[in-house]
Amino acid sequence: MDIEQKAEMLTTAYIHSYNLALKEVKNPNLAAQIATAVIMVIDLNTPKQQAINPLELLFAQMAAAAQERTRKEESEVDDHDGAENEAD
């Protein structure tokens, strides 16, 4: 759900909640407070998308690259040692 859809959904919920509360309590200020509380509860219960931290992503990529380099260096050393042992 993108931000526009979410805003539209919450606006619709607010309007319906306000109208229903106004019909029941006959007080516009109280109806506005009730409608606000309703959309706050709805918003709290909607699933949130996990935010992506760009620095965390960068560090993860750097760590992966470092591990790959280490693996390559170790395999080159192992290959080089193996070649020397075969020559003996």
Which parts of the chain register pLDDT below 50?
none
Q: Are residues 41 and 60 in the same domain?
A: no
Q: Are residues 10 and 23 in the same domain?
A: yes
Asked if residue 15 lies in contact with residue 36, where contact means CB atoms within 8 angstroms, the answer is no
Q: Which pLDDT score is estimated for 81?
A: 60
Q: Are residues 4 and 42 in the same domain?
A: yes
For residue 50, give both structure tokens: 């996990």
Q: Are residues 30 and 55 in the same domain?
A: no
Q: Which pLDDT score is estimated for 25?
A: 96
Q: Are residues 45 and 10 in the same domain?
A: yes
Find, among 16, 47, 46, the residue nearest to 34 by Cα: 16
Asked if residue 36 lies in contact with residue 14, where contact means CB atoms within 8 angstroms, the answer is yes
Q: Which pLDDT score is estimated for 80?
A: 63
Q: Are residues 6 and 41 in the same domain?
A: yes
Name the one residue in this structure whose structure tokens are 């229903």: 20
Asked if residue 54 lies in contact with residue 14, where contact means CB atoms within 8 angstroms, the answer is no
- Total of domains in the chain: 2
Domain holding 87, by residue range, is 51-88
Find, among 32, 33, 39, the residue nearest to 11 by Cα: 39
Q: Are residues 74 and 41 in the same domain?
A: no
Q: Are residues 15 and 42 in the same domain?
A: yes
pTM passes above 0.85: no
